[in-house]
């Protein structure tokens, strides 16, 4: 809405405490007079918590220079990049925030209800996915800790539901494998290998047309061999 020329002029006074660094949000031309980009808007409002729900506009990646986003259900909490992230605390904060009760796949394909329901279901695993992705990009100390926490969260949500999105199986299988490779001593190699094999297999049963299916089958074969060596 801030891209409309009338928005700030007419509605800014209804948002006390929100600072607009210009008269209009213009992702394409933020350098023009009286316009601003998302980074400038966020930088002028660091005194308050800012959340973006159902994604951020791809046309304005300026915020990535100065801000990070932490998953919070279907929303993201936007924080300055220098803000310290505490994985265990964030996992606990987001662990029990979901009370969505609509069954998965309960609406007609291509309906807006189906899309909305899928968003809510996928939101359950956003923290686990975020931690896994963070571990993938991290070097050195802390990597194994993030994989372990991601695995724990994935395992919790998969075991809690009997019907869930297929990608949860794939993600849990990957998390099991990463925890195994990280050398974590808190889990049995046999349990992790079995978990990875089982959930890769379940994923292929539901998503057999995945272009990565041959690679996943190859991974299953390799994991089976590793388990046989134990």
- Residue 228: CB atoms within 10 A of its CB come to 8
Say whether both 169 and 97 belong to one domain: yes
Say whether both 197 and 132 belong to one domain: yes
Residue 3: pLDDT above 90? no
Domain that holds residue 161: 86-230
Among 31, 66, 84, identify where a domain stops: 84
Residue 31: pLDDT above 80? no
Report how far residue 111's alpha carbon sits from residue 213's, in angstroms, rounded to the nearest whole number. 28
What is the pLDDT of the chain when averaged over all its residues? 93
Among 84, 107, 142, identify where a domain stops: 84
Give the CA-trace dihedral at 30, 32, 35, 41, to 10 degrees.
40
Residue 30: pLDDT above 70? no
- Residue 101: CB atoms within 10 A of its CB come to 6
Mean pLDDT value of segment 201-208: 95
* Number of compact structural domains in the chain: 2
Say whether both 23 and 5 belong to one domain: yes
pLDDT in tens, 90-135: 999 999 888 889 999 899 988 999 999 999 999 999 999 999 999 9
Q: Is residue 152 within 8 Å of residue 132, measured between CB atoms?
A: no
Among 31, 58, 84, identify where a domain stops: 84
């Amino acid at each position: 809405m801030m891209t409309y020329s009338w928005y700030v002029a007419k509605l800014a006074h209804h948002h006390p405490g929100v600072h607009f660094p210009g008269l209009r949000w213009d992702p394409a031309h933020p350098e023009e007079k009286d316009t601003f980009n998302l980074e400038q808007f966020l930088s002028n409002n660091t005194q308050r918590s800012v959340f973006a729900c159902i994604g951020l506009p791809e046309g304005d990646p300026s915020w990535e220079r100065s801000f990070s986003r932490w998953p919070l259900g279907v929303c993201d909490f936007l924080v300055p990049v220098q803000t310290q992230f505490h994985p265990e605390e964030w996992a606990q904060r987001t662990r029990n925030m979901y009370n969505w009760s609509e069954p998965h796949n309960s609406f007609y394909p291509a309906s807006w209800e189906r899309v909305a329901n899928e968003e809510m279901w996928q939101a359950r695993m956003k923290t686990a996915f975020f931690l896994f992705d963070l571990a993938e990009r991290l070097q050195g100390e802390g990597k194994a800790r993030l994989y372990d926490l991601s695995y724990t969260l994935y395992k919790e949500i998969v075991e809690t539901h009997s019907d869930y999105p297929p990608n949860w199986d794939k993600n849990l299988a990957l998390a099991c494998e990463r925890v195994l490779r990280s050398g974590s001593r808190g889990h049995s190699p046999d349990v992790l290998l079995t978990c990875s094999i089982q959930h890769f297999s379940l994923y292929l049963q539901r998503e057999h047309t995945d272009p990565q299916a041959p690679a996943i089958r190859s991974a299953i074969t390799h994991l089976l061999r590793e388990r046989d060596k134990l």
